[in-house]
């Protein structure tokens, strides 16, 4: 299976990554058009992550979870904090670290975002079929995992 003709590698993988890039752009634009209160995708992503995991994580852990740099996560957290969606406290166990906690207001904003998401996704789901996404997601996960481990 591995090591077919290498000449075909670049065009094939270029087409793959081109599709990935355009879907990313389209999905972010579609999401941000319906998110309430001018919320951006990364903000919603972090709120969602915190609700689902139910943990109080550090900025560094969040940066790692979202594959962004720490300064980027610093910026995201500051925006969430300014809106009252999270509170940031010092970590009693590590003087360098902090702990980020979602607030009730943050939970409400996340709920509102989720509610806006349904109508966006339902047509995709109904038109293209659940099976397509159930098939694609684990395979994309394989690609993502490999790239993440070998970067």
Taking CB under 8 A as the binding criterion, the range among 55-63, 77-85, 92-100, 113-121 that sits at the site for its own copies is 113-121
Exactly one of 19, 24, 37, 94 binds DNA (CB under 7 A); which one?
94
Q: In the numeric block, which tokens belong to residue 41? A: 């995708």
For residue 117, give the nearest of 36, 53, 38 by alpha carbon: 36
124 binds, among its own copies, DNA, none (CB under 5 to 8 A by kind): its own copies
Exactly one of 18, 72, 101, 141 binds DNA (CB under 7 A); which one?
72
120 is a contact residue toward DNA (CB under 7 A): no
List C-alpha distances in Å: 43 to 32, 50, 81.
10, 11, 10
113 is a contact residue toward DNA (CB under 7 A): no
H/E element, 98:
strand 98-102
φ, ψ for residue 129, nearest 5 deg: 95, 140
Burial code (b: 16+ CB inside 10 Å, e: under 16) for 9-32 equals eeeeeeeeeeeeeeeeeeeeeebe
6 binds, among its own copies, DNA, none (CB under 5 to 8 A by kind): its own copies
51 is a contact residue toward DNA (CB under 7 A): no
Where on the chain is the footprint of DNA (CB under 7 A)?
Answer: 25, 29, 40-43, 58-61, 67-72, 74-79, 88, 91, 94-98
């Amino acid at each position: 299976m591995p090591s077919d003709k290498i000449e075909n590698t670049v065009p094939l993988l270029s087409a793959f990554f081109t599709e990935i890039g355009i879907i990313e752009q389209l999905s972010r634009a579609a999401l941000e058009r319906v998110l309430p209160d001018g919320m951006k995708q990364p903000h919603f992503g972090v709120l969602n992550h915190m609700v689902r995991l139910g943990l109080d994580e550090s900025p560094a852990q969040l940066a790692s979870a979202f594959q962004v740099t720490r300064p980027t996560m610093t910026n995201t957290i500051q925006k969430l904090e300014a809106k009252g969606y999270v509170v940031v406290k010092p970590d009693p166990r590590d003087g360098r670290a902090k702990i980020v906690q979602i607030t009730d207001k943050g939970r409400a904003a996340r709920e509102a975002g989720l509610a806006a998401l349904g109508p966006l996704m339902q047509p995709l789901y109904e038109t293209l079929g659940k099976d397509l996404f159930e098939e694609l997601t684990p395979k994309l996960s394989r690609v993502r995992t490999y790239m993440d481990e070998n970067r």
